[in-house]
Every structure is written in structure tokens, then in C-alpha cells.
Amino acid sequence: MILQTHGLTRYFGGLVAVKDVSLSVAPCQVHAIIGPNGAGKSTLVNLLTGHLKPSSGQVIFCGRDISGLAPNVTSQLGVGRSFQRTNIFPSFSCLENCAVAAQSRLSHSMRFFRRVEGYAAVRARAERALELCGLSHRAQAPAGAISYGEQRQLEIGMVLATEPSCLVLDEPMAGMGQEESAQVVELLRSLAREYPLVLVEHDMDAVFSIAHVLTVMVSGEVLASGSVDDVRCDPAVQEAYLGDGEEVY
């Protein structure tokens, strides 16, 4: 397993946003997390990446306990959390944005003692990241001038520039139109061949077509977890979240 949680719990005052969540992500696996608003999905993501500290429980990444480590440390270790759009520098080109992200993963020796080689490495990473996220043709465009959908693709590119071992994406298709979503679904499908992926997503068609494992959260707790087919057929899931019809779409 590349990423695991054991009994992960997070309180906000008296409210338990994530309660006793234990899950595992295997290499080359897409693990989707679904659930209604307020179910605790984003809190769980923040616990995985160190943006929030757990009240109890552990996060194990590549065999190492990373619970409560700061986000820059988890990023250095290889947990690739998508940057929010607010992390994009609008006046920098798409390539420069990826270069800034790539730079954040370089060791200090690369940053301070080997500037020229360091720059070449950063540029190579940034170019590869742009290619992977499908924005090579936008390399020189200011990030503020590309479409909303492309900016969200750029966020993914910026994560890829950090050369992660695992991707954690919280609603990468939020706010997109159908065409843009379809493009990102294709992108996620191609990334899934290379990276283990934790995907929080509302778009059920997308989830069912990409995910291998599905965890359903309700009120901070795991209601069901397993293969997509098993979870879709789980009567408790159908009743509590997906509706109780035969078809769960």
C-alpha cells in the first residue's frame, strides 16, 4: 500500500468531521471518495496532506508515519496535493507556474549551489508536467489568460511538476462545463496509469468510469468501501446516498 490511514479522526470543537477512517490506496489504484456535502471529504484530504492535523489516528505514506507533518514536508516526500487556483500566479506563464512548483521539490543543494543545472532540471520538470496535463500549447500564455478549465488543468500540472508518488485531488472538475470535464476525465484516466490517485469527486459518471475502489463517507464516517461494483450495489449506500432505485446514476 502506498497510502493508508488508521482510525483517522478530526474534531472541530464538538463536531467530528472525520471519524475513525481507515483506508488504503494501492500502487496504480484510483481510490475515489464520495459523499454528500459536509461528509468530511475535504477534511480527510487535508489530513492526508498535512493541511490539518488529526485529533487521533495515523496517516502512513510508503510505510512512513506522516501524521501531522506540514504540507511542504508531505509534498517533499511525494504526496501530490493539487494547488488551489489561488496558488496560480496569473501574470506568470503556465510554464513559469509549473517551474515554481517544480522548484519547491528541489533540495537545498540544487537551489543554492548548482544554479545552472538546477534551472535546467526545473525547466525539464516543468515542461514534462505541462505535457502530462495537456497544456504544452499554452506554455507561454499567462496563467490568468487561459480558460477556467485550463487553469484547473494547470493546477494538476503544478502538482505533477513536484514529481509526486501519489496524487490527491479534491474535486478537480468542480465548476467545469461538460466539455471541460470530459477533458479532465481523460487526463485523470491517463494519469491513473502512472500514479496512485485519491480522488474526491461529485461527478458520478466520472467516478464510476475512473475509480477502482470507492469509499462512501457520510457524516464523517465510512459508510461503505470496496470495489466500485460492490459499493454501487450496497443497499446501505443506495438508501443513504445514491437513492434507492436500481440504477445509481
Contacting residues toward Mg ion, per CB under 5 A:
41-42
Task: Select from Mg ion, ligand ADP, none the partner in contact with residue 185, using the beta carbon and a kind-dependent cut-off of 5 to 8 Å.
Answer: none
Q: Residue 94: helix, strand or coil by DSSP?
A: helix
Is residue 89 involved in binding ligand ADP (CB under 6 A)? Answer: no
What one-letter code names the amino acid at 203?
A: D
Is residue 43 involved in binding ligand ADP (CB under 6 A)? Answer: yes
Cα 160 from Cα 235, distance rounded (Å): 38
Task: Select from Mg ion, ligand ADP, none the partner in contact with residue 43, using the beta carbon and a kind-dependent cut-off of 5 to 8 Å.
Answer: ligand ADP
From 9-17, 131-139, 179-187, 223-231, give the range in contact with ligand ADP by CB under 6 A. Answer: 9-17
CB of 170 to Mg ion, least distance (A): 6
CB of 181 to ligand ADP, least distance (A): 19
Is residue 54 involved in binding ligand ADP (CB under 6 A)? Answer: no
**Which of 4, 9, 22, 38 touches ligand ADP by CB under 6 A?**
38
Cell triple for residue 139?
506554455
Cα 43–chain centre separation: 13
CB of 40 to Mg ion, least distance (A): 8
**Which of 41, 81, 105, 138 touches ligand ADP by CB under 6 A?**
41
Q: What is the residue-wise DSSP string for 27-90?
A: TT-EEEEE-STTSSHHHHHHHHHTSS--SEEEEEETTEE-TT--HHHHHHHTEEEPPPGGGS-T
Is residue 84 involved in binding ligand ADP (CB under 6 A)? Answer: no
The number of residues that bind ligand ADP (CB under 6 A) is: 11
**b/e string for 179-204 if b means 16 or more Cβ within 10 A?**
ebbebbbebbeebbeebbbbbbbebe
Is residue 39 involved in binding ligand ADP (CB under 6 A)? Answer: yes
Contact yes or no for 167/191 (Cβ under 8 A): yes
DSSP state of 186: H
- CB nearer to ligand ADP: give 43 or 75: 43
Contact residues for ligand ADP (CB under 6 A)?
A: 12, 15, 17, 35, 37-43
